[in-house]
Structure formats: C-alpha cells, structure tokens
Chains A and B, each alone.
Chain A
Amino acid sequence: MNPYIAIGLLLLLSTGLALIIVLLGAVLGPNNPNERKLEPYESGMVPVGEAMQRLPIRFYLIATLFIVFDIEVIFLFPWALIFRKLGIFGLVEMAVFLLILLVGYIYIWQKGALEWD
C-alpha cells in the first residue's frame, strides 16, 4: 500500500482534531468581551503606540542566509545517499562544492553578517 495514503489520512485527521479543539474552546467558554479586555496586553499598562514597528534588519539577513545554506544541505542529501557508489570521484566533487560554499561562508563571517549587536 502506498505510504502516502496513511500520511494523507493523518493530515486530514490532525487538521480535524486541531479545528475541533479550537471550536470546542470557543463554544464552551464564556464570552463577555469589553474594550479594555480586547486591547493588546502590555503588562497591565495602557498600550503605547503600534505593535507594527520597524524591526532590526538582522532577522531578514538571517532568513536570507538560511535559504542559501539550506539549499546547500538539500543538495547534500541525494549525494549522501549514493556517495558510496561514486567513491573517490563523488568525494572530490562534493569537496569542490563545499569549498565554494566555504568561501561564501568565510565572506559573510568577515563582513560581519553573523554578528548580532
């Protein structure tokens, strides 16, 4: 039997379970909202300003770097499965690939993209 049928069923049932939990909580609990209660929580003080402010660029930089290096890891997966068949050839090929990425890694390190202050 195709294992993805089981995964599909699990996806359906877990989504159903999650929706039922959300719904149950909404139905069973009391519901008496007021203006103060629906304000953003700021440790009991009256909220100051908007929540959507400008954020440090670091977070976006990390996300960009992640994409580059995650694709590197994805490329390594098929190689890791068959590298025994490829032998020395596969080893050298992957060493070249890793060296190129290593240059990039050293570059972003030197540029201070990994610093956080």
Chain B
Amino acid sequence: MTTTDIIEVLVKIVAVFFILLTGFAYLTLFERRVLAALQSRIGPNRVGPGGFLQPVADGLKLLFKEDIIPAKADKFLYLLAPVAVVVPVLLSAAIVPWGPTIQLFGRSIPLHLADINIGVLFFLGLGSLGVYGIVLAGWSSNNKYALIGGLRASSQMISYELAMGLAALGVVMLSGSLSMVDIVNAQANGRWFIFMQPLGFMIFAITMVAETKRAPFDLPEAEQELVAGFHTEYSGMKFAMFYLAEYIAMIVISAVAATLYLGGWRGPFVEQLPILGPLYLFLKIMVFLFIFVWLRASFPRLRYDRLMTVGWKILLPLALINLVVTAIAVVGADTKFFGLLGG
C-alpha cells in the first residue's frame, strides 16, 4: 500500500460525498417538481432557472435557523441522534459499484470504494444500525409525538428488514457471492437477476420503500397524527440531517436494488466504453427514484396494523417460498434431477 493508493481512496470518498450530497439536494427539487406535475401544479420554479437554485436557498435558510434544544431533552443523545442517523447511510454507499474499472493517469481505477466479500450483509447490517439514530432521536426529544414516531419507525424497519434480507438471499444464491462486484459480474450479457427472481425483486422493491420510511409506509412521520414523528423537536441543520439521511438512503438503496436485480452499471457497449457504466447506473437509479415519488403521489398511507400484517404475514412467507423455490431450482439444475425425472 502506497501514498497514491491512499490519495486514490480519498479522491473517491470526496467524489462519493459530492455525488450523494448533490444528489440529495436535487432529489428534493426533483421530488417537489414531479409531485407537483402529478398533482397538476407547477412546483418551485422561481429561484434560479426552473427552480434550479431552490435547494441552495433551502440549505442556506436552514443553516441560519435557530438551533433549539428543548429544556427537557437528553442533551447528549439529542445531539448524537442526527449524527447516528447520517453516518450509517453514508457508510453504506461504500459497497456500491458505480462502474467498471477505468484507465486514468496510467492507473487502473475500479469505480467502487470497497469491494468486500460480505457486501450484501454489510449493507443490511448498516440498515439495522440506522434504527438506533431514529430511536435515540424519538426518545431523547422527550416529546410524545417523537417517542411514538421513533417506536413506529423501529418496529417497521426491523419487520421489513427480515423480508428484505430473505429476498436478497435469492440473488446471493444465484451469484454465489456476497460481493457487490461479483454480483454485477454475474449479470453480464443481459442476464439480469430480475428475470430469474421476479418475486424476489417485487419483495425487495416493497421493502426498500418501507425501509426508507417513504409513502405509503411513512407512518413514523405521519403528519396528521404525529406532526413530524421522531424529528418533531429538531430544527435548523439538525432537522435537515434527518432529511439528508432519508434522501441519501433512497439513492443508496436504489443503487443497491439496481445492482442486485438490474445488472448494476451493465448495459450495451459498456465493455468498449467503460465511462458509460456510471451513466447506466444513474439511469437505473432515476427509474427507482421516480417510482418513489410516483408512489407518494398515488397511494394513501397504510394503517399500522395492516403495515405489520403485510410485513409479517405476506412478505415474510413469500420471501421464504422464493428462497426455497430458488434453492430447489438451482440444485435441481446442477444435479440434473429434473432430467432424471423426465428420462
């Protein structure tokens, strides 16, 4: 390991931060404009051309807002919670393969931060860690709405994480690896796992909406009953950090879903022109992000008991069935079991 390796890693980290933070800023604008279009409104279009500077204006406004710490709050945990929400989300971006290996300045640079052999497990683990920040925020605020919102969020996230893990297992079984890079490579030549795991993809797609607490699964922050849920008491930049975490989680989870099921950065002519890789991944992420906004415009919020019923009584058994069918099909194909039956 040399100094240039460290510099390469640092440059990549700065690039990932830049992509995620810019992505977050413009995803808020994208959501407001698309939502407005779906509701026959115009949306924010006054700040800069087409509302392009709206996120900057929002950010500056929040930066200069008063930072209120409620008198009854547990001060240390209250300040820790936004950090504990943001860090796991940023960390989970480490395993996303943004593109193939490219040649730059005479070095071959792989376009991912870390190719670890437990990639999928790492992602799911960080998803669980994200619950801590939300529970801490809800509890330390010493506010009824915040506490109930935090509890709802934790119950919802852990319930849907089971089905998400089981759905992702189907992909792991087909690729034989937990590494995200290996999973992309196993989907070369258009053999996307969505074609072999349609049920697994459906389950993953539903659980990723629930994991990011987006409509119609946004009960933790149901504004009619809980004001803003677990971040009711937060103001200024700390309030912004909860939104930062939510939107970056949407981007990262879309990237992971695209990698697991839609071939990641793979697409036509990517072998000849590696720079197309990040572009294809970007387009696939945009499809997911548009669906996130579309869902919010189309569906009413679920009732909490139904949310739990869907998670525990429908998605969990379906994910188990998907797992068993995949296992039997793969082993059956390997051992030519079906051939023996037929012949």
Contact = CB atoms under 8 A, between A and B. Distances in A.
B115 interface: yes
Contacts of B144: 40, 42, 51, 53
Interface in B312-332: 312-313, 316-317, 320, 323-324, 327-328, 330-331
Interface string B115-135: 110000100000000000000
Interface string A34-49: 0101111111000000
A22 interface: yes
B316 A3 contact: no
Contacts of B313: 109, 114
A103 interface: no
A83 B173 contact: yes
Contact of B173 (A11, A41, A66, A80): A80
Contact of B309 (A19, A77, A114): A114
B34 to A, nearest CB: 27
Contacts of B67: 25-26, 29, 31
B154 A63 contact: yes
Interface in A1-48: 1-7, 9-11, 13-15, 17-19, 21-22, 24-26, 28-33, 35, 37-43
B172 A32 contact: no
A88 interface: yes
Contacts of B13: 6, 9-10, 13
A62 interface: yes
A80 B116 CA distance: 17
Contacts of A15: 83, 87
B323 to A, nearest CB: 7
B173 A29 contact: no
Given A29-B66, A52-B142, A91 B83 contact: no
22 contacts: A6-B12, A6-B113, A13-B13, A15-B87, A21-B240, A25-B63, A25-B67, A25-B236, A29-B63, A38-B68, A40-B72, A41-B145, A55-B151, A66-B161, A80-B172, A81-B178, A87-B335, A102-B320, A105-B316, A109-B313, A114-B309, A114-B313
A114 to B, nearest CB: 5
A5 B66 contact: no
A29 B305 CA distance: 41
Contacts of B147: 51-52, 55
Contacts of A26: 67, 237
Contact of B308 (A40, A41, A114): A114
B141 interface: yes
Given A15-B83, A31-B67, A40-B70, A51 B236 contact: no
A80 B146 CA distance: 39
A98 interface: yes
Contacts of B162: 66, 69-70, 73
Interface string A56-86: 0011001101100110010011001101100
Contacts of B172: 77, 80-81
A69 to B, nearest CB: 5
Given A25-B65, A88-B331, A7 B114 contact: yes
A76 to B, nearest CB: 6
Contacts of A94: 327
A51 B335 CA distance: 61
Interface string B218-255: 00000000010000110011101100100000000000
A85 to B, nearest CB: 9
Nearest to B5: A1
A83 to B, nearest CB: 6
Contacts of A6: 9, 12-13, 94, 113-114
B237 A21 contact: yes
B62 interface: yes
A81 B115 CA distance: 17
A7 B244 CA distance: 20
Contact of B334 (A2, A32, A84, A98): A84
* CB-based closest 4 A-B pairs: A25-B237, A116-B305, A3-B114, A14-B90
B304 interface: yes
B148 to A, nearest CB: 8
Given A7-B91, A11-B91, A76-B323, 7 more contacts: A1-B1, A39-B72, A40-B141, A69-B162, A77-B121, A83-B173, A83-B327
